[in-house]
Amino acid sequence: MRRSFGPPGFRRAAGLVLATLLAVTLAACSPPPATTGRQPAALAPPSDVILASTTSTQDSGLFDVLIPAFEKADPAYKVKVVAVGSGEALTLGQNKDADILLVHSPSAEASFTAAGFGIDRKPVMYNDFIVVGPSSDPAKIKGDTSAVDAFTKMAASKSPFISRGDNSGTSTKEMSLWTSAGVTPKGQSWYVSTGQGMGATLSMADEKLGYTLVDRATWLTNQGKNPDITLLAEGDTKLFNPYHVILIPGARNEAGGRAFEDWIVGPAGQKVIGEFGVSKFGLQIFVPNANATS
C-alpha cells in the first residue's frame, strides 16, 4: 500500500501549486499566438524639398514662418532653402539642383519657362521697390513718383549709387530703369557694384551715403541697421515687384515641389503671407495674389 505524507488538506494544497506551476511552464514554452491584420508601419522620414529663392524672401524673415507652416500641414516633406539672386535661382532650376523656385524676375522667368526648364509658373505675392539714399539727398529725388526721373537725376548728380550687380531680380529691375533713363552707369566713377545680396548692399549705401534700389520687404526688416539712409522715392508702377513660383520638371523631388507649390498658392499659404509683418509694421510686407494672372 502506497504511503501518503502529510494531512489531506496539505496534500490538496500541494497539488494545486504543482498544477499551477505546470500551467505556467507550458505557457512559457508555447509559441506566441499568431496575430491577425497588418502591423502599423513606422513613419517614413520626411523627404527634402530644395527651394531656390531670392535673398529678399529669406532676409525679410518670411521663410521663418512660411516653411514651418507648410511642414506642419504636410509632414511628408522638409524644405531646404537656397537663398540667392533670382538669376542664380533660375540657373539652379535649369540644372535641376532645385525642385521648386520662388523668384521675382518676370522677363527672365518667362524665358526660363519658354525654354522648358520650368512649368506651372504661378503668381504668389507682390510688393514694390523703393529708392533710398542719404537724407541730404544731393540728387533732389525726394518725393519723386517717376522712377525714371529719379534715376536721371541720380546720374546727373554723380552721387554714389550702390548696385547689387548680381543678376538678381533687383539688379535686373535697376538696369531696366537705367535703360529707360538713357543712362549707362557701368564704368562710371560714382557707380559701385557690390555683387552681393540686398543686406550687404544697403550697408554699403549707408557707409558711402549713396543711393540704391531695394525691395520694400528688405528695407522694412532692416530698419535701424542703416541710419544714414532714408526712403526717398516710391509709388511708380514701374517699381511693381511680383513673385512667382515655378516647378522644375524632372527634378529629384518633383512631387515635393508640387506639394509646396499647391500649398503656397492655396488658402493656407496665402493667409500666412498676408499676415506676415502686419503686427510689427502695420502693413503687409508681401501682398498675396495667387488668383492674379501671370
What is the grid cell recorded at 124?
Answer: 504668389
Q: Which residue has the cell 552707369?
A: 185
Residues 212 and 280 in one domain: no
Cβ atoms of residues 147 and 131 within 8 Å = yes
- What local confidence, expressed as pLDDT, does residue 223 receive? 82
Q: Does residue 180 fall inside a structural domain? A: yes
Q: Is residue 139 part of a domain?
A: yes
Q: Which CATH number fits the domain that encloses residue 186? A: 3.40.190.10
C-alpha distances in angstroms, 9 versus 6, 15, 17, 20, 21? 8, 10, 13, 17, 19
Q: Are residues 221 and 251 in the same domain?
A: no
Query: CA geometry: angle at 29 spanning 23 and 31, to 5°?
Result: 115
Question: Within its chain, how far is the Cα of 74 from the centroid?
Answer: 16
Q: Contact at 8 Å (CB) between 178 and 153?
A: no
Q: List the beta bridge partners of residue 128.
A: 240
8: in domain: no
- Assigned domain for 225 exists: yes
Distance CA(172)–CA(193), nearest Å, equals: 13
Give a yes or no: residue 196 inside a domain.
Answer: yes
Query: Do 266 and 207 reside in the same domain of the chain?
Result: no
Residue 262 sits in the same domain as residue 123? yes
How many separate domains does the chain show?
2
For residues 12-48, one letter each, b for 16 or more C-beta atoms within 10 angstroms of the residue's C-beta and e for the rest, the string is eeeeeeeeeeeeeeeeeeeeeeeeeeeeeeeeeeeee
Give residue 55's pLDDT.
Answer: 87
Pairing of strands 47-53, 100-103: parallel
pLDDT at res. 224: 85
Q: Do 259 and 184 belong together in one domain?
A: no
Whole-angstrom distance, CA of residue 176 vs CA of residue 171? 9
Q: How far is Cα 34 from Cα 30, in angstroms, rounded to an integer?
A: 12
Same domain membership, residue 232 and residue 138: yes
Same domain, 61 and 202: no
Same domain for 164 and 191, yes or no, is yes
Looking at the domain assignment, is residue 51 inside a domain? yes
Same domain, 89 and 230: no
Same domain, 183 and 271: no
Q: What is the pTM of this model?
A: 0.81
Mention every residue, 6+ apart, whose C-beta is less than 8 A from residue 228: 134, 135, 206, 207, 209
- Residue 137 shares a structural domain with residue 195: yes
The answer to whether residues 140 and 115 belong to one domain is no
Please check whether residue 260 is in contact with residue 100, taking contact to mean a CB–CB distance below 8 angstroms.
yes
Best CA proximity match to 49, nearest among 256, 251, 206? 256
User: What is the DSSP code (8-state) at residue 234?
Assistant: -
Residue 259: domain span: 47-127+242-288
- Separation between Cα atoms, residue 158 and residue 142, nearest integer Å: 16
Report yes or no on 14 lying in a domain. no
Q: Which of 239, 261, 276 is the last residue of a domain?
A: 239
- What is the model's pLDDT at position 42? 52
pLDDT (tens digit, 0 to 9) for every residue of the chain, 294 residues total?
444 434 444 344 334 433 443 344 434 444 444 444 444 445 668 899 999 999 889 888 999 999 999 999 999 999 999 999 899 999 999 999 999 999 999 999 999 999 999 999 999 999 999 999 999 999 999 999 999 999 999 999 999 999 999 989 999 999 999 999 999 999 999 999 999 988 899 999 999 999 999 999 999 988 889 999 999 999 999 999 999 999 999 999 999 999 999 999 999 999 999 999 999 888 899 999 998 776
In a domain, 264, yes or no: yes
